[in-house]
């Protein structure tokens, strides 16, 4: 079941035309990812303190329609792919049932030196796509 999060579009999110500036979608996706993890009982800050670094390694966004000043959009987040040291999340940004953007965000698990490491067990048991072979 995907995590759902509502986001209100504020003036600071938009360009001069009142349309969400494309790069600001990344901020919204980051918030949705963090909330998705918290819903699963994973506090990213806690793991960071234990030496687990979670770095975004790839983002693929398809913009379909604009979000505008004053609107409320909903972001759904779910696991699309899971491996030992990386997870791909699929997110949809929707307004009133209309798809505005679709994103695939890949994040990796690293140690403090920036070397890949396995995700902690709790990540490997997240609901969603089965681990890839």
Rg of the chain over Cα atoms, rounded to whole angstroms, equals: 15
96 assigned to active site: no
Q: Catalytic one among 15, 43, 60, 111?
A: 15
Q: From residue 15, give the alpha-carbon distance in Å to each of 23, 65, 68.
A: 11, 15, 9
Neighbours of 81 (CB within 10 A): 16
Structure tokens at 71: 């609107």
Q: Give me the active site residues, please.
A: 15
């Amino acid at each position: 079941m995907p995590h759902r999060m509502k986001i209100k579009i504020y003036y600071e999110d938009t360009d001069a035309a009142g349309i969400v500036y494309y790069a600001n979608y990344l901020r919204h996706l980051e918030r949705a990812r963090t909330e998705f993890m918290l819903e699963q009982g994973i506090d990213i800050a806690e793991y960071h303190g234990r030496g687990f670094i979670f770095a975004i390694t790839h983002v693929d966004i398809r913009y379909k329609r604009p979000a505008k000043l004053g609107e409320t959009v909903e972001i759904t987040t779910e696991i699309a792919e899971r491996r030992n040291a990386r997870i791909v999340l699929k997110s949809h940004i929707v307004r009133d049932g209309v798809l505005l953007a679709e994103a695939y965000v890949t994040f990796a698990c690293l140690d403090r030196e920036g070397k890949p490491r396995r995700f902690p067990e709790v990540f490997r048991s997240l609901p969603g796509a089965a681990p890839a072979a």
